[in-house]
Amino acid sequence: MASTEPEQAAGSPITVTGPADRKPYIWLIAAQAVAYAILVLISLIPMGSGAQMNSVAVTFVSTAVVALVVIEAFTSPLRVNASGRAIAAIAALFALVFATSPIIGDVIALHGAAQHNHIFTERPCTWVAGVASVLVAVIVIDFIRQMMREQRTELIEHIGADVALSASCVLSTGWCFLPYVLQNFGIAQDDGSTALHISVLLLAIICVGVIIALAAATYIWHHDVHIAKHFHLPWLGMAMLPVMLTGAVVGLGAVVITIWG
């Protein structure tokens, strides 16, 4: 940790908590476990047929993602001011539209850009394009915001915190594809049985590995991060950060299934 107390953008000192002032690490792990369990359970709502995502399950997962974004926007321990948190929430809203709406795919199809390969009009692929565009826009906006400050002390740190919060909120929308991923967990055989889809099995293994790695990283983040006294439930915001980042793995997994499934 730095030996001096961090300062707000305006230059006034703030009081930060130490490890002894924070919730035990097990609280964060428990909160993560509950969040993962809820996302998986609501994704298992009776599915449709074929490779189509069940609209009811997607609606519930999307609602859960919105809840995650709201929680993170209000409780994140990152040193981001109100406008930065609002930008993160708005960016997540755009990403959520790309995850649940065929708008980009319709535009691509309208211009005939994917007439030789319709895969690029599938929602997981268009979500990646939409998320990439949103993240680029967020980086540009956050850079401009920070450059407009009268006092540009700790410029890189402030930009990093803004982008980190926005990126976690945007990437959390990848969870919207969990019903689609689970729906493709098995392949129907001619005799009526179901064989395990190898790509989904590999995705599950990778996802579990990422969850474990991020849970371990949470301990370091929780111990080292500077948290202002006036932040509300910062431990909850820290706990939800890995959950939101794991959404990127789910979203990219849906892309892999779409292309090679």
Which residue is listed with tokens 């189509």?
52
* Overall number of domains in the chain: 1
148: pLDDT confidence band, cut at 50, 70 and 90?
confident
Residue 95 is assigned to a structural domain of this protein:
yes
197 is written with which tokens? 């889809």
Residue 220 is assigned to a structural domain of this protein:
yes
The model's pLDDT over 201-231, given as tens digits with 9 standing for 90+, comes to 888 899 999 999 999 998 888 877 767 677 7
Beta-carbon contacts of residue 12 (< 8 Å; ≥ 6 apart) = none
Opening angle at CA 225, ends 220 and 227, nearest 5: 140
Residue 48 is assigned to a structural domain of this protein:
no
Flag whether pLDDT at 185 surpasses 60.
yes
Beta-carbon contacts of residue 147 (< 8 Å; ≥ 6 apart) = 155
44 is written with which tokens? 């298992």
177: pLDDT confidence band, cut at 50, 70 and 90?
very high
Provide the domain limits for residue 207. 53-185+195-260
Residue 233 is assigned to a structural domain of this protein:
yes
Residue 9 is assigned to a structural domain of this protein:
no
The model's pLDDT over 78-137, given as tens digits with 9 standing for 90+, comes to 888 899 999 999 999 999 999 988 776 666 655 555 455 566 678 888 899 899 999 999
The model's pLDDT over 17-55, given as tens digits with 9 standing for 90+, comes to 444 346 888 999 999 999 999 999 998 876 555 444 567
Residue 34 is assigned to a structural domain of this protein:
no
244: pLDDT confidence band, cut at 50, 70 and 90?
very high
Residue 124 is assigned to a structural domain of this protein:
yes
User: What per-residue confidence (pLDDT) applies to 31?
Assistant: 95
Beta-carbon contacts of residue 191 (< 8 Å; ≥ 6 apart) = none
Residue 168 is assigned to a structural domain of this protein:
yes
pTM equals 0.81
User: What per-residue confidence (pLDDT) applies to 71?
Assistant: 95
Q: Tell me if 61 sits within 8 A of 176, measured CB to CB.
A: yes
Q: Tell me if 211 sits within 8 A of 246, measured CB to CB.
A: yes
Beta-carbon contacts of residue 150 (< 8 Å; ≥ 6 apart) = none
Flag whether pLDDT at 196 surpasses 70.
no
d(CA 36, CA 39): 5
Flag whether pLDDT at 188 surpasses 60.
no
> Which residues sit opposite 186 in a β-bridge?
196
Give the CA diameter of the chain. 71
Q: Say how many Å lie between the first and final Cα of the chain, rounded.
A: 46
